[in-house]
Amino acid sequence: MHKKNIAVIGSTGSIGTQTLDIVRENPERFGVSVLAAGSKVDKLIEQAKAHRPHLAVIADETKYTILRSALEPLGIETAAGSRALADAMDRDDFSTVVTATVGYSGLEPTIRAIRAGKDIALANKETLVVAGELITRMLSTSTASVLPVDSEHSAIYQCLVGEDPATIDRLIITASGGPFRTRSPKELQNVTAADALQHPNWNMGNKITIDSATMMNKAFEIIEARWLFNIPGSRIEAVVHPQSIVHSMVQFCDGAVKAQLGIPDMHLPIRYALGDASRIDSPERRLSLSDYASLTFEKPDVEKFPCLTLAYKALAEGGTTACAINAANEVAVAAFLGGKIRFLDIYNVITSTLEATDFIKQPTYEDLVAVNSVARAKASEKIESILK
């Protein structure tokens, strides 16, 4: 068997650690050449000792000395900073990059990896939210391919195997509804970050868990699906499915609907992406439908979760709208997690940031960088005005 060497960006997060579980289970299939983390240096060192990559990178430069003194005696190269991370994408000792970071910071290394012809196992959805059009254009002239790791997009990908894309009628993306699905609008006024972090089904990092509570995560997934599958937003819908067993569905022109089901566990989509859309044996618990009294589906409540509507606004406007939404959301979510603003302020910060940020119809990468930075500043100003 040809062994595939990978780079994992964001190795200490939820998707990163689960990726390394799969590498550990399949030592004959996968090897790790590069591990990169944001700031959790102790965990990165532990992972590097176990997986013996050629290079370990820490984005937080203040942690570099700790990393170097721990790993250099083992013959593992070390580096620090976002430039070093992007440069690592040019190395020739791996063919696939798992982009498991959260947020805008995933964009630059992903672009560098595509330029270097690497295949992408894409878990960083913000990359396609911010720069979907640019990335799609780059991929059309590159040998690099993208396989989705997001469970919904993996499900759609699996439903499309053997199908003619021209026969797709609509994509139906399932949403758990998050921890506040059954709360009244009045109760939502006073929910805290601790309340929001109690996700019913999925065990994820803090940022995506808040995005799940506002349903911004689903808005991002609609945008992500538009670019991954080249389907207009008008033919992508979200349906709330609280049990998170049906991971998403595709409806075809003859009315048939295909779904992919499984227990809510990210190992499956990660394994499928790492295996180039092939099936690899899994030790995990199997889905037993008889364990579920019912699987239910309902329309999302966009009055309660208006962030969901931002997906359609972003796709209708195109250009830099989604980039500005993402930037404002990252700043607002951090402020909510820090106890500075209330849950319902997140949407307000995003919409007022959109109004205050200039729109560019056909942005270059440099334009996206600029809009991201302006939108962050505007979002911070809005948050300051809420605090007064």
Interface contacts to Mg ion, rule CB under 5 A? 150-152
Between the alpha carbon of residue 312 and those of residues 104, 117, 153, 208, 380, the distances in Å are: 20, 31, 18, 20, 24
Shortest separation between residue 104's beta carbon and Mg ion, angstroms: 18
Rounded least distance, CB 177 to Mg ion, Å: 13
Residues in Cβ contact with 166 at an 8 Å cutoff, skipping those fewer than 6 apart? none
The angle that helices 321-337 and 345-356 make with each other, rounded to 10 degrees, is 140
In the bound state with Mg ion, the residue whose beta carbon lies nearer, of 12 and 151, is: 151
Instruction: Starting at the earlier edge strand, list the strands of the sheet with 236-240.
Output: 236-240, 168-175, 246-252, 257-261
Q: Which residue is nearest to Mg ion (CB)?
A: 150
Q: Are the C-beta atoms of residues 161 and 229 closer than 8 Å to each other?
A: no
Q: What are phi and psi of 75, to 5 degrees?
A: 80, 20
Task: Determine contact, residues 122/128, Cβ cutoff 8 Å.
Answer: yes
- Residue 241 C-beta: closest distance to Mg ion, Å: 12
Q: What phi, psi does 105 have (nearest 5°)?
A: -60, -15
Among residues 230, 218, 251, 213, the alpha carbon closest in space to that of 125 is found at 218
Q: Which of 312, 159, 172, 308 is nearest to 241 (CA)?
A: 172
Cα dist from 329 to 98, 104, 159, 346, 379, whole Å = 23, 11, 31, 7, 8
DSSP code per residue over 156-200 = HHHHHTTS-GGGEEEEEEEE---TTTTS-HHHHTT--HHHHT--S
Nearer to Mg ion (CB atom), residue 119 or residue 152: 152
Of 127 and 151, which has the nearer Cβ to Mg ion?
151
* CB 221, min distance to Mg ion, A: 6
**CB of 248 or CB of 320, closer to Mg ion:** 248
Closer of 150 and 330 to Mg ion (Cβ):
150
Work out how close the CB of 199 gets to Mg ion at its nearest, in angstroms, rounded to a whole number. 12
Which residue's CB is nearer to Mg ion, number 53 or number 148?
148
Between residues 192 and 203, which has the closer beta carbon with respect to Mg ion?
Answer: 203
Cβ at position 361, least distance to Mg ion in Å: 29
Q: How far is the CB of 150 from Mg ion (least distance, A)?
A: 4
